[in-house]
A = this chain, B = another copy of it.
Amino acid sequence: MLWIGLFLMARTEDPSGRQRILAVAAELFYVRGVRAVGMAEVIQAAGCGKNMLYRHFPGKSALVAAYLGRAREEREAATSAALTGEPREQLVALVTEVAYRVRGSAYRGCAFRKYLAEFPSPGDDDEATAVARAYLRDTRAQVSELVAAAGGPPQLGDRLWLLIDSLYSGTGPDPSVAVEWARELVAAGRPD
């Protein structure tokens, strides 16, 4: 009975353990900034004891790295869900999905870009910085590969990445401007 319970918790929600702490910490880090949120505040918001948190995460840097890793998983899930249809449609869908997310009321900027802005000179062993940089690099590579699959010129990838980058920045114009522009761009690149 105990083992079945542990098994189910591990497979499903783990509502009072690691996942719960991570969800609470992620929200705080994202909204208020990583440096501005102390461990004590995470503990209080999670409603757990100090032992609980420090057993799952050896320190704040590990918690922050897990926060960005979680953000990456969420982004990848949303992105892959939007990528159906032929490559050209996928390119537009990619921009549209980002625009949709940016319009959401909970959007406070790109978590990875914000982290890199907050820690521009990290130690060489900063795992969170590695996660953030890898995400940006991989996402951009994904666009390039998609453009190559669609038979478009590399320049198309550059310009689409520029549009996505502007969307994420949070200070750009209305997201629909980027979406409409991406549509024109992909349509113009069509050889037929």
Name A residues whose Cβ lies closer than 8 Å to a Cβ of B: 31-33, 35-36, 108-109, 113-114, 116-121, 136, 155, 158-159, 161-163, 165-166, 168-169, 171-174, 177-178, 181
Given contacts A159-B181, A174-B158, contact A32 B166 (CB under 8 A): no
User: What's the least CB distance linking A131 to chain B, in Å?
Assistant: 15
User: What's the least CB distance linking A159 to chain B, in Å?
Assistant: 6
Q: By the criterion CB–CB under 8 Å, are B162 and A118 in contact?
A: no
For A159, the chain B residues whose CB sits under 8 A away are 173, 177, 181
For A178, the chain B residues whose CB sits under 8 A away are 162
For A33, the chain B residues whose CB sits under 8 A away are 117-121
**Nearest opposing residue in chain B for A137, CB measure:** B171
Q: By the criterion CB–CB under 8 Å, are B165 and A169 in contact?
A: yes
Q: By the criterion CB–CB under 8 Å, are A113 and B171 in contact?
A: yes
- Contact of A172 (CB < 8 Å), options: B109, B165, B173: B165
Knowing that A33-B119, A118-B118, A166-B172 touch, tell me 8 more A-B residue pairs with CB under 8 angstroms. A31-B121, A117-B117, A117-B118, A159-B177, A162-B163, A165-B169, A165-B171, A165-B172
For A155, the chain B residues whose CB sits under 8 A away are 177
- Contact of A117 (CB < 8 Å), options: B31, B109, B162, B163: B109
Give me 17 A-to-B residue pairs in the complex whose CB atoms sit less than 8 angstroms apart, sorted by A's number.
Answer: A33-B119, A33-B120, A33-B121, A109-B120, A116-B171, A136-B171, A158-B173, A158-B174, A161-B172, A162-B166, A162-B177, A162-B181, A165-B169, A165-B171, A165-B173, A166-B172, A168-B169
For A166, the chain B residues whose CB sits under 8 A away are 162-163, 165-166, 169, 172
For A119, the chain B residues whose CB sits under 8 A away are 33, 36
Among the interface residues A33, A108, A161, A165, which one has the most CB atoms of the partner chain B within 10 A? A165
